[in-house]
Structure 1
Amino acid sequence: MSSLMTNASAMTALQTLSSTNKSLDEVQNRIATGYRVSTAEDNAAYWSIATTMRSDNLALSAVEDALGLGAATMDTMYTAMESTVDIVDQIKSKLVAASEPGLDRAKIQKEISALQDNLRSIADSAVFNNENWLSVDSGDAAYNATKEVVASFSRNSGVITIEKIKVDITETELYDDADQSGILDKAQANGNAVATIDISALTDSAADLTTLEGMVKDVDDALAQITDAATALGAAKSRVEMQRDFVSSLTDALDRGVGQLVDADMNEESTRLQALQVQQQLGIQALSIANSSSQNILSLFK
């Protein structure tokens, strides 16, 4: 039935066009933002998961930065420790050379003293981010023998866990101004400390040569302890670097996971856009045809 009061065809065409326009707006928004789910309105569950994962990813980025800082700190300490090994080797060699009778040990001591000054300078200069693990003062109120590097951030059933890599710097301390308990300023088995060894007054007497031999042994013992400390630092540095690589890979994996949830497939959206644009044009044309039916009815009365 044709009616002037109610144009059913026009109403149907208008509803179809409105639906098409709504879908077109949705597709255009996805293309503009790059997201299939950009707000909670699009998909509340996916939006909630993606928002939480993005937040955790930011935390992981902070962990990666902390690991980088920790690695740089350890690298500074390890580099200083390597230089220390070289200098202590030289002191040991000079002590061995000084065992030769008739040598001017006062002159040799001048060289040893210069090396001792270098050792202290290296330890004091091994600073990164206001951290020094080689030259310390255990009597300072701010002193802490355990250094920590944030290593991971995880969420399990809503419970957040932060793991840390710990380093005991009592194993790496070369100097301790509070009680001289560092590797270089503490007395070794024969009562000699590398930092204070002085052979200038030694003679060729049997007792002095025995004392000199004890100095060589003590320097060798200190060298072994320094080597152990360098090994510990190297192992901790390696662990931090491996953890940093893992956190970087984990961050990328979480980014991909979020993308799977909320990213728009641009190829699919582009195809949909073209199809909806055609539907929109057809809808406009259909509405125009439906509206012209009233004019056709009027012509019947002419």
Structure 2
Amino acid sequence: MSSLMTNASAMTALQTLSATNKALAETQSRISTGYRVATAEDNAAYWSIATTMRSDNMALSAVEDALGLGAATLDTMYTAMDSTVDLVNEIKAKLVAARQPGVDRGKIQEEITALQDNLRSIADSAVFNGENWLSVDSSDAAYNATKSVVGSFSRQGGAITIEKIDIDITRTELYDDADQSGILDKAQANGNTVATINIAALTDSAADLTTLEGMISDVDDALGEITDAATSLGAAKRRVELQREFISALTDALDRGIGQLVDADMNAESTRLQALQVQQQLGIQALSIANSSSQNILSLFR
């Protein structure tokens, strides 16, 4: 039935065109933003998950930065400790050379004193970001024997956990100005201290040679402790580096997971855009044809 009051064809065409325009606007938004789920309105569940994962990813990025800082600190301490091993080895070699009867122990002591000064200088210079784990003052109120590096961030059942990598610096201290309990400023088994050993007054007497042998033994003991400390720092450094690599890979994995939830498939969206543009043109044409039906009714009365 043809009616002037109700144009059913135009209504149908208009509804179809409106639906096409809405789908076209949605597709254009996805192409513009790159997101299939840009707001909670698009998909509340996916948007909520993605938002939480993005927040956690930012926290992981902060952890990665903290691990980088920790790695740099450990590298500084390890480098200084490695140099210390070389200098203590030289002191040990000088003492062994001084065991030879008739040598000028005063001259050898001058060399040992220079090495002792270098040891102190290295320990005092091993500073990164205000941290020094080799030369300390345990009586300082800010002193803490355990240094921590943020190692990871995780969320389980809504609960957040921050893991730390702890380093006991009592094993790495070369000097402690408070109580001389560092490896180099403490008395070893025979009562000798690497930092203060002095052979200038020693003679070739049996007692003095025994004292010299005790010095050699004590320096060797200190060298063993320094080697252990360097090993500990090296192991901690490697652990931090491995954790940093893992956090970097985990961050990338989370980014991919978020993308799977909310990113738009640009290939599919571009194909859909072209189809909707054609549908829009056809819808406009259909609406135009439906609207012209009233003019056809007018021709009946001519």
The Cα of 1:146 is off from its aligned counterpart by 0.2
Alpha-carbon displacement from aligned partner over 1:34-54 (angstroms, at most 9, x marks no partner):
000000000000000000000
Amino acid across the alignment from 1:117: D
Equivalents in 2 of 1:2, 1:200: separation in Å?
125
Aligned to 1:212: 212
Alpha-carbon displacement from aligned partner over 1:233-253 (angstroms, at most 9, x marks no partner):
111111111111111111111
Amino acid across the alignment from 1:260: Q
Query: C-alpha root-mean-square deviation of aligned residues, in Å?
Result: 0.5
Amino acid across the alignment from 1:71: A
The Cα of 1:129 is off from its aligned counterpart by 0.9
Aligned to 2:63: 63
Aligned to 1:282: 282
Aligned to 1:109: 109
Amino acid across the alignment from 2:44: A
Equivalents in 1 of 2:270, 2:172: separation in Å?
61
Alpha-carbon displacement from aligned partner over 1:143-177 (angstroms, at most 9, x marks no partner):
00000000000000000000000000000000000
Aligned to 1:33: 33
Alpha-carbon displacement from aligned partner over 1:103-132 (angstroms, at most 9, x marks no partner):
111111110000000000000011111111
Equivalents in 1 of 2:102, 2:154: separation in Å?
68
Equivalents in 2 of 1:129, 1:299: separation in Å?
91
TM-score normalised by L of structure 1: 0.99
DSSP-derived class of the 1:179 partner: coil
The Cα of 1:279 is off from its aligned counterpart by 0.2
Moved more, 219-228 or 5-14: 5-14
Following superposition of structure 1 onto structure 2, how do residues 142-157 of structure 1 map, counting pairs within 5 Å? 142-157=142-157
Aligned to 2:199: 199
Aligned to 2:254: 254
Equivalents in 2 of 1:147, 1:23: separation in Å?
57
The Cα of 1:210 is off from its aligned counterpart by 0.7
Equivalents in 2 of 1:125, 1:184: separation in Å?
16
Aligned to 1:244: 244
Following superposition of structure 1 onto structure 2, how do residues 180-191 of structure 1 map, counting pairs within 5 Å? 180-191=180-191
TM-score normalised by L of structure 2: 0.99
Following superposition of structure 1 onto structure 2, how do residues 45-64 of structure 1 map, counting pairs within 5 Å? 45-64=45-64
DSSP-derived class of the 1:160 partner: strand
Equivalents in 2 of 1:71, 1:22: separation in Å?
53
Long gaps (5+) in structure 2: none
Equivalents in 2 of 1:157, 1:61: separation in Å?
21
Long gaps (5+) in structure 1: none
DSSP-derived class of the 2:42 partner: coil
